[in-house]
Structure 1
Amino acid sequence: MKILVTGTAGFIGNHLALRLLERGDEVIGIDNLNDYYDVNLKKARLARILDHNRYTDIRADLADRDRIEQVFKEHRPERVVNLAAQAGVRYSIENPHAYIDSNIVGFINILEGCRHYGVEHLVYASSSSVYGANESMPFSVHDNVDHPLSLYAASKKANELMAHTYSNLYNLPTTGLRFFTVYGPWGRPDMALFLFTKAILSGEKIQVFNYGKHRRDFTYIDDIVEGVIRTLDNIAQPNPDWTGAKPDPGTSRAPWRVYNIGNQNPVELMKYIEVLEQCLGKTAEKELLPLQPGDVPDTYADVEALVQDVGYKPGTPIEVGIARFVEWYGSYYNF
């Protein structure tokens, strides 16, 4: 297939593009190489796929309406995976406009491209952050998610609503994927595992928020990519049993679905740090701090809908995933 993937210099997008190329697909990749974090890392990721004869590299910003329309018109992708976005809960407090430009304006440009150029299926990144103030565990796609705690979370919830509108109006199949704390080789430098590793190796304190009482459903990158590919290949269908009298937030009479992709095994942050210390052979000096604005104490994915519809359940244990990250980090940064 010819697949458009946005964010191919990003963590998940780069891994996904590589897997799609390996299985024989043609990939059109879009990225604007912004400087939210180390651009050299993004370029190094891109170097893994740039020379592939089925990869087309495009430098563009999703918020550039004319440029995105030109990409759709010229390349006519059969399916689209939209992973490009302004990420980060805490950064959304500092720079809210970046989230509107990328996650809202950029997403409507993707939806319009899919609508006008006959895309078979749009898969897009949502986030576990949409669960916000929910306290019922595990988080289910059938839960109400109307109480986000950050603008980042609100932008991802908005994406799900926008996608539903296009699925309903134009019969465009769309699937939103709520990712749960993704980690692994080539990861983002603003994420905890990267920050902790750098600090521990430098002999600096690590900042442990919520006094270490966080629980996160850490999900290894290969598990995420497998889930994305399986949902991409499983085009969203209407739910014939859906009724407006008792609406289900996780499905619709339109060809629209959302899924959690998480390890379904929440881990205490202190346990996560302990495994990292063992892999590094060094003990961390910890600075215990209160819960940050916009953060949630715990995440825990119910992946039953994913298992039922596409037959997949993530399962890489943190002992394996963290060890692989540390091995990559040592190779990339020569420690």
Structure 2
Amino acid sequence: MSRFLVTGSAGFIGFHLARRLLAEGHDVVGYDGMTDYYDVRLKHARVAMLRDYPRYRHVTAMLEDARALAAAVGEAPLDVIVHLAAQAGVRYSLEAPRTYIDSNLLGSWNVLELARRLQPGHLMMASTSSVYGANRVIPFAESHRADEPLSLYAATKKAMEAMAHSYSHLFGIPTTMFRFFTVYGPWGRPDMALFKFTDAMLAGRPSDVYGHGEQARDFTYVDDLVEAVVRLAEIPPNESNRVGSRDVTDTLSASAPYRVVNIAGGSPTPLMAFIRTIEKAIGTTAKLNMMDMQPGDVPQTFADPKLLEALTGYVPATTVEVGVSAFVDWYRAYHAMEKAA
């Protein structure tokens, strides 16, 4: 049994991770600002499910509030900090850039300061495939340059990686930075493509398809991502677990107990194929409104998962057919419950 702090525990990924940890008998302090970036009723429904576990304690406060963050955990040791809270979304960063600075930079710095004080056994921080930006070498490997972000969201995440490396070096904090690739599944965010397409198809509305449907994404089912995070939690970076295979480039820093790891299956799906999968799961034909690529978007994400596999023996493998079907089933059940209420 371990004691975890999970920031963003009312969010999509944080909820799934916290529930998995609680089911395994761990203590979890969940910390979330419950912001109105999307419908807070969905966040409250997630937290209500987590409160069913006696080992869960929820704190509602903003990540930018350093005193509240410190008070949430007190002086008791933390085994693992999993920092998932962030202002997400590429397109929203064009509308409200300041929120990305406040949450992703100031908020993440507060987490780093907390880790400096408490010295957890492992600090894990969520980055994103968006940091690869203008990189055109595929598949994306952790060792590739990620110095040309195409959105402020990506820039703040890359900056967070750099800040975390400096703290890892200066204060000896074992830190894993994981880069997510288009996570989807039940309890997903309403601003994400799968939620939007499903909502529009069931209502008979047209769906906006950016990039004229020519994009591709390395979709990662949320349960697969959680499995990878749980496995990585047991592998705090140090020289004893440096990967020695000539086929894998380990990102373990030469000057800090710090590592960057992709979490994805390494199997991109064309956007139009993804839409057809949703149509099949729902049993309808989508009305599509083809649009130009949005600023900040990239044409393709494609992960190299060899480092994840070398470290954990695991690679996400849930097919989009299985994952989309699970989401559509959840969506229907959740909205039926909302209407009944």
TM-score (norm 2): 0.94
Aligned residues: 330
The structure-2 alpha-carbon separation of the partners of 1:185 and 1:322, relative to structure 1 and needing over 3 Å to count, comes to same
Name the amino acid aligned to 2:58.
D
Gaps of at least 5 residues in structure 1 are 243-247
CA separation in 2, counterparts of 1:144 and 1:250?
Answer: 12
* Structure 2, gaps ≥5 residues long: 244-248
Matched residues in 2 for 1:77 and 1:49: separation? 19
The code of the aligned residue for 1:174 comes to: T
- Secondary structure, aligned partner of 1:235: coil
Q: Tell whether the 8 Å contact from 1:30 to 1:59 is kept in structure 2 after alignment.
A: yes
Give, in angstroms, the shift of residue 311 of structure 1: 1.5
CA distance in 2, matches of 1:124, 1:96: 21
Given residue 4 of structure 1, which amino acid in structure 2 is its aligned partner? L
**Coordinate RMSD, CA, aligned:** 1.6
Identity value in percent: 50
Q: Which residue of 2 aligns with 1:133?
A: 134
Whether the 8 Å contact between 1:239 and 1:252 is mirrored in structure 2 is: no
Tell me the distance in 1 between the aligned counterparts of 2:218 and 2:88. Answer: 18
Out of 308, 311, 329, which is 1:309 matched to? 311
1:216 CA drift (Å): 0.3
| 2:333 partner amino acid | S
Aligned counterparts of 1:85 and 1:213: Cα–Cα separation in 2: 28
1:284 corresponds to: 286
Q: What is the CA deviation profile of residues 262-312 of structure 1, one whole-angstrom value per residue up to 9, with x for unaligned ones?
A: 121100000000010011000001110010000000000001111111221
Following superposition, the deviation at residue 70 of structure 1 comes to 2.1
Which residue identity does 1:185 align to in structure 2?
P
Maintained 8 Å contact 2:210/2:294: yes
Structure 1 residue runs of 4 or more that deviate by more than 6 Å after TM superposition: 239-242
Over residues 95-142 of structure 1, what are the superposed CA-to-partner deviations in whole Å (9 max), with x where a residue is unaligned?
A: 111001111000111011111112111001100000000011100001
Residue 104 (str. 1) matches residue 105 (str. 2): yes
Residue 160 of structure 1: SS of its match in structure 2?
helix
Deviations, residues 223-272 of structure 1 (Å, cap 9, x unaligned): 01011111111111148989xxxxx8933121000111112110000000
CA shift, 1:73, in A, is: 2.7
Whole-Å separation in 1 of the counterparts to 2:70 and 2:90: 29
* Aligned residues of 1:72 and 1:117 also touching (Cα < 8 A): no
Contact 2:212/2:290 (<8 A) preserved: yes
In the superposition, the TM-score normalised over structure 1's length comes to 0.96
2:329 matched residue in structure 1: 327
Alpha-carbon distance between aligned partners in 2 of 1:67 and 1:329, rounded to the nearest angstrom: 34
Contact 1:150 1:294 in 2 (8 A): yes
- 295, 305, 312: which one aligns with 1:293: 295
Distance in 2 (alpha carbons) for counterparts of 1:190 and 1:330:
17
1:84 aligns with 2:85: yes
What is the deviation of 1:51?
Answer: 2.6
SS at match of 1:163: helix
One-letter amino acid of the counterpart of residue 222, structure 1: D
Equivalents in 2 of 1:43, 1:137: separation in Å? 39
Does 2:254 align with 1:257?
no
Q: Distance in 1 between matches of 2:239 and 2:299?
A: 34
Distance in 1 of aligned mates of 2:3 and 2:240: 27
Aligned to 2:51: 50
1:63-98 CA distance string (max 9 Å, x none): 001111222434432210000000000001111110
Cα distance in structure 2, aligned partners of 1:7 and 1:72: 15
Is the 1:239–1:255 Cα contact (8 Å) retained in structure 2? no
Secondary structure in 1 aligned to 2:37? Answer: coil
User: Does the 8 A contact of 1:143 with 1:249 survive in 2?
Assistant: no
* Counterpart secondary structure, 1:16: helix
Amino acid at match of 1:237: N
**In the alignment, what sits opposite 1:237?**
238
Q: Secondary structure at the match of 1:257?
A: strand
Q: 1:239 to 1:130 in 2, by over 3 A?
A: farther
2:148 is matched with: 147
Contact 1:210 1:290 in 2 (8 A): yes
Letter in 1 for 2:62: D
Distance in 2 between residues matched to 1:279 and 1:67, nearest whole Å: 43
Counterpart of 2:298 in 1: which secondary structure?
Answer: coil
**1:188 matched residue in structure 2:** 189
* Counterpart check, 1:159 vs 2:148: no
Does the 8 Å contact 1:9/1:33 carry over to 2?
yes
TM-fit CA distance, 1:55: 0.4
